[in-house]
Amino acid sequence: MIKVGIVGGAGYTAGELIRLLINHPETQIKSIYSTSQAGKPVYSIHQDLVGETDLVFSDQLGANLDVVFLCLGHGNSKEFLQSNDLGTAKVIDLSNDFRLSKDANFDKMEFLYGLPELNLEKIKKADAIANPGCFATAIQLALLPFASGSHLKGDVHVNAITGSTGAGQSLSATTHFTWRNNNVSVYKAFNHQHLGEIGESLKSLQTDFDHSLHFIPMRGNFTRGILATAYTHTTLELDEIKALYQGYYEQSAFTFVADSPIHLKQVVNTNKALLQVEKHGDQVLITSIIDNLLKGASGQAIENMNLMFGLDQQTGLKLKANYF
């Protein structure tokens, strides 16, 4: 069994990790570290786990772990690693501390960007993974096939909407029910923090990509899921585009290309990503949908763990969508 430690155990991503890992056939959770909740039953915070586990939050991470998931706020993973010796444990970080190439080397660790649809074989050999961001995952999956064939010939325009869990568990004016309910808004237009990792991934496949990515993120009045639409100029015909996408994702464990229009309920509560392509005049439109907490965070983290430990990529992640 893979001995697991989770750091920052009280947040949304940690809750999803715990839910999945207690049912994973090859893992045993040894420690759930939380300074704010130490001594309390895990189900007292993650209330969907009542009757599922007797695990208790701890103020000690424990030793002899095989893998540690860092579910800390952005900027806090570096501080934790500086203060704690994890021994030989592999590390999967869910923050943005190590996603960019300039941040990948930390102390004696070398973090690899953990998008399986981009770095599958490298992940199998990695000891430290920087788990991609949720918006970044949805947008990259929409664009990677085009970049792989050097077909991104102009600016790319992206509009994406995410559920309220994307903002994390901390309360703010824009997560309050009376503000969020029946409401939609734009935030961080053109300067979202995920743009850096998206750009690096695209350039890793298409080295001459020097155009702009215009990204408008939106807050939705629902709890989870991301729907992203991306469009750009192309001279390819629709049949060529579909063949490009089908070929790129032919061996993918979780990303699939649909023939008909897609909607969020097809992927919520799963580690699946669905894509659909259309062409309108000289513009290609790619729609991408994921669950922001699973394929956009905790599910993808477990997908990476499976690859790092030589397991089937889908182990513990065969989940049914909340379709109704």
Express the helix, strand and coil content of the chain in percent, nearest 5 each.
Answer: 30, 25, 45
Angle at 42 between CA 166 and CA 312, to 5 degrees: 65
C-beta of residue 127 within 8 angstroms of C-beta of residue 91: yes
Give yes or no: 134 in active site: yes
Q: Which among 50, 52, 11 has a CA at the least distance from the CA of 33?
A: 11
C-beta of residue 19 within 8 angstroms of C-beta of residue 46: yes
Task: Report CA-CA distances (Å) from 114 to 164, 303, 318.
Answer: 24, 9, 20
Question: H or E segment at 140?
Answer: helix 134-148
Select which of 49, 65, 118, 134 is catalytic: 134
Angle at 161 between CA 155 and CA 165, to 5 degrees: 135
The rounded distance, in Å, linking the Cα atoms of 164 and 237 is: 37
Question: Which structure tokens are listed for 64?
Answer: 């002899």
Positions annotated as catalytic residues are 134
